[in-house]
Structure 1
Amino acid sequence: MAEGAGVDQGNILLNAFGPFAKDYGLRDQIRRAAVSIMLNIAEGFARKSNREFCQFLVIAHGSPAEVQAALYIALDQNYITQEQFENLYGMADETSKITMGFSRYLDQPKSKNSTQKTPNSTNSHKETT
């Protein structure tokens, strides 16, 4: 299924048409967890240090798991179809992977090459007499 269709299914789910309309708690929990991802990333970015940003990315990483757990409940209650579940679960999984990948990227040393010596670097600092 196309990514745009997945977003549409997510909007339908969160707008709660059908049997999901009356389960305000679960529906709103999914919405809060999904929004929490973006808000934690924004807050971490505003901290202006990679260390703090990484910490907030790790916090944001937990929210897709919360969405996935709630999707299992929605599936068990027959609020969503298996196809909707798989699509939305996959979107949450991809968000989780991207968030942690970004955190790992930011956590790397600035430049791996700046600490490595070149073959001639040991001889280049010899004093000439």
Structure 2
Amino acid sequence: MAGIERFEDLIAWQKSREMAAAIYKITGEGNFSKDFALRDQIRRAAVSVMSNIAEGFERKGSKEFHQFLVIAKASCAEVRSQLYVALDVGYINNSMFERLYDISVEVSKITSGLRTSVAKQCE
């Protein structure tokens, strides 16, 4: 990416870091913290977003970066899907669901925009 030297400078990575931290905080509380399967799965999905953005960037190739951004965006969808489970079983309330859902949508949109930009470099 022209002008960006570190993955930490990517807004997509910065926002995904915020999302991962929020997921870790909420999954460390109450009954959510005791549901090891769901807790660990949603944490892995959230961390996957920021990790794939970072790894793809460091590959230094547009085609590979694009592929990793596709995976990162899919992991955002996984987070949202698991948030529904957490809401449905009462681990989070509607307000917390909406806040985390909105963050994951924002990360997904930013990642999608970055993916589109990178795809143009592949052409």
The answer to whether TM tops 0.5 is: yes
Q: Does 1:76 align with 2:76?
A: no
Q: Higher RCO, 1 or 2 (CA under 8 Å, sep at least 6)?
A: 2
Structure number having the greater helix percentage: 2
For residue 10 of structure 1, report the CA deviation from its aligned partner. 3.4
Aligned positions, number: 105
Q: Does 1:96 align with 2:116?
A: no
Look up the equivalent residue of 2:56 and give its one-letter code.
G
| Deviation string, structure 1 residues 17-75 (Cα, Å, up to 9, x no partner) | 21212101101111000000111111111211111111110111100100001000000
For structure 1, the 5+ residue unaligned runs are 111-129
Superposed, 1:5-44 pairs within 5 Å as: 10-15=23-28, 17-44=29-56
Task: Give the equivalent residue in structure 2 for 1:115.
Answer: none
TM superposition score normalised by structure 1: 0.74
Task: Give the equivalent residue in structure 2 for 1:55.
Answer: 67
TM superposition score normalised by structure 2: 0.77
Task: Give the equivalent residue in structure 2 for 1:122.
Answer: none
Percent identical: 50
Q: Distance in 1 between matches of 2:93 and 2:22?
A: 11
Does the Cα contact within 8 Å between 1:9 and 1:84 map onto a contact in 2?
no
Look up the equivalent residue of 1:13 and give its one-letter code.
I
Look up the equivalent residue of 1:39 and give its one-letter code.
S
Q: Would you identify which runs of 4 or more consecutive aligned residues in structure 1 move more than 4 Å?
A: 6-9
> Which of these two proteins has the greater Rg computed from alpha carbons?
1
